Amino acid sequence: MPQSTFASDIPTAGAPERGAGGSQIAIQVLERAMLLLDVLARQSEPVALKNLAAATGLHASTAHRILNDLVVGRYVERVDSGLYQLGMRLLELGSLVKGRLNVREVAIEYMRELHTITGQTINLSVQQGDEIVYIERAWSERSGMQVVRAIGGRAPLHLTSTGKLFLSVSEPRQVKAYIMRTGLAGTTRNSLTKADQLERDLALVRRHGYSRDNEELELGVRCIAAGVYDDTGKLQAGLSISAPADRMRDEWIGLLQDTAGRISEALGYERKVAGA
């Protein structure tokens, strides 16, 4: 493969890569790994080591060492001696990102509709490790409370209504491991800080199909959440209503569950019909 087909298309290692915000990447090996991935991404066929080195401005031995690590992580595949292409791990990660973006895009109109009806803050959250991450929100000044956690904010699973949804569908051993890792640290007097308390609450979630946060994360704020499922039946996200404690209404539960169900159907999930 002629070097001239791509060697001039990307910056060399002497020109540090910059992120979306214009900040320079601080760790040199990451910069070099990204340069190598960028080259591979631009090529439809496997690329020879010497061409990768030339395109990135790296010494062949340096490029070879980094590529070996990327191969171990499955970010790159070695298809022949000295030939490389992007690996399946990138496809897996891309699918995860795509799934999370899709649920956000599908959910936003339903969230706005639910906000219009209830007047309260509507959240969409996903699990990431031992926390939930808020990925979308519908709210307005009439919600009656300030938005405390912005999009991208995080909170422990056991202190949030959505987090309890994810714990409720986890294997018992996974729940026990979570308890051991986190120690069930609390933030208010209502926080569930003991294993038996959490287990009882998760049993209620499984029985009723929705979950509650009774001022467990923040005093003065209550939440209810229902699950959003993808086409495989996997819990993809949690849809929740957050409201000042004295404004939360149980009559919103059915509305919340129906909205979450409609979002799930839009993602390809087939809802079970009662009595079927």
Q: Domain boundaries in the chain?
A: 3-86, 94-266
pLDDT value, residue 145: 61
The architecture that CATH gives domain 94-266 is 2-Layer Sandwich (3.30)
Angle of helix 49-56 relative to helix 28-41, nearest 10 degrees? 120
Tell the residue number behind the tokens 């959250």, with chain if given. Answer: 125
Q: What is the pTM of this model?
A: 0.67
| CB 228, CB 264: distance < 8 Å | yes
pLDDT value, residue 146: 56
How far is the C-alpha of 235 from the C-alpha of 171, rounded, in Å? 14
pLDDT value, residue 7: 41
227, β-bridge pairs: 238
pLDDT value, residue 72: 95
Q: What's the DSSP call for residue 136?
A: E
Q: What is the CA radius of gyration of the chain?
A: 24
Q: What DSSP letter does each residue of 17-42 carry, written as one string?
A: -B-TTSPBPS-HHHHHHHHHHHHHHT
- Assign residue 57 a region (left: φ > 0; alpha: ψ between -120 and 50; beta: otherwise): left
How far is the C-alpha of 143 from the C-alpha of 122, rounded, in Å? 9
Sheet of 83-86: strand order equals 47-48, 83-86, 76-80
How far is the C-alpha of 11 from the C-alpha of 142, rounded, in Å? 50
pLDDT value, residue 4: 34
The Cα-based distances of 196 to 163, 203, 240 in angstroms read 17, 11, 24
The rounded average pLDDT for each run of 10 residues, N- to C-terminus, in the chain (276 residues) is 39 42 67 94 93 94 94 93 90 76 91 96 96 93 64 94 98 97 97 98 98 96 96 95 95 98 94 58
What are φ and ψ of residue 30, in 5° steps? -70, -40
Tell the residue number behind the tokens 């060399």, with chain if given. Answer: 12
What are φ and ψ of residue 124, in 5° steps? -120, 125
Q: What is the number of other CB atoms lying within 10 angstroms of the CB of residue 86?
A: 17
Q: Where are the beta strands (DSSP E) in the chain?
A: 47-48, 76-80, 83-86, 121-128, 131-138, 154-156, 211-214, 221-229, 235-244
pLDDT value, residue 14: 42
What CATH topology corresponds to 3-86? Arc Repressor Mutant, subunit A (1.10.10)
pLDDT value, residue 180: 97
pLDDT value, residue 273: 57
How far is the C-alpha of 259 from the C-alpha of 114, rounded, in Å? 7
